[in-house]
């Protein structure tokens, strides 16, 4: 059965920049969890960033904290590890947290650190999608379940 890579914070792990989680409660997700089909992963922690950590946003081709610290290398390392995990487990679907500079599927913050979002993808979402792994956000659960049902 198909496995799904899932942002760790959506599964209740307190790995976000602020040390919190973003636990996503849904019976369909719980069912996948009980079937051991979810692979939990946080690219920013895997890339070597601490918890908590300063929030970061994508600005042009770099990822910068509010204090302009360049954390692009850590974000890229996390994205590459996410891809490796998917390849190792033959994962073709991912459920990632919307608007994160790593995991955002459809929107990201605009790089100004003023709370404004723009259309775009986080680094991990972008790398997975470009390697034929279909990425869904927590706002697209019905589409994820439909894709899993077809496979």
- Within 8 A by CB and 6+ apart from 42, the residues are 7, 8, 9, 13, 15, 78
Interface positions, 57-76, toward ligand SF4 (CB under 6 A): none
Tokens of 119: 């259309």
Rounded (5°) CA angle 104-108-114: 145
What is the total count of residues that contact ligand SF4 (CB under 6 A)?
12
Nearer residue to ligand SF4 within complex by CB, 16 or 92: 16
**Nearest approach, Cβ of residue 42 and ligand SF4 (Å):** 3
**Nearest approach, Cβ of residue 121 and ligand SF4 (Å):** 12
With binding defined as CB under 6 A, does residue 100 bind ligand SF4? yes
Residue that is written with structure tokens 């590459």 in the block? 80
Q: Length of the chain in residues, anyone?
A: 151
With binding defined as CB under 6 A, does residue 47 bind ligand SF4? no
Backbone angles phi, psi at 120, to 5 degrees: 170, 175
With binding defined as CB under 6 A, does residue 102 bind ligand SF4? yes
- Sole window of 41-49, 52-60, 84-92, 139-147 interacting with ligand SF4 (rule: CB under 6 A): 41-49
Nearer residue to ligand SF4 within complex by CB, 130 or 146: 130
Nearer residue to ligand SF4 within complex by CB, 4 or 42: 42
**Half-sphere exposure (CA, 13 Å, Cβ side) for 44?**
30
Rounded (5°) CA angle 141-144-149: 125
Binding site for ligand SF4 (CB under 6 A): 7-9, 15-16, 42-44, 97, 100, 102-103
């Amino acid at each position: 059965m198909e496995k799904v890579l899932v942002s760790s914070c959506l599964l209740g792990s307190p790995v976000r920049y602020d040390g919190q989680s973003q636990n996503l409660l849904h019976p369909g997700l719980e069912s996948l969890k009980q079937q051991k089909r979810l692979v939990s992963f946080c690219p920013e922690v895997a890339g070597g960033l601490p918890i908590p950590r300063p929030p970061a946003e994508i600005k042009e081709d770099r990822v910068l904290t509010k204090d302009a610290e360049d954390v692009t290398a850590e974000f890229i390392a996390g994205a590459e590890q996410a891809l490796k995990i998917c390849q190792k487990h033959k994962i073709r679907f991912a459920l990632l947290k919307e608007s994160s500079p790593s995991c955002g599927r459809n929107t990201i913050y605009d790089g100004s650190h003023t709370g404004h979002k723009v259309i775009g993808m986080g680094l991990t979402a972008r790398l997975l999608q470009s390697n034929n792994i279909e990425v869904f956000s927590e706002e697209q659960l019905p589409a994820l379940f439909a894709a899993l049902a077809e496979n």
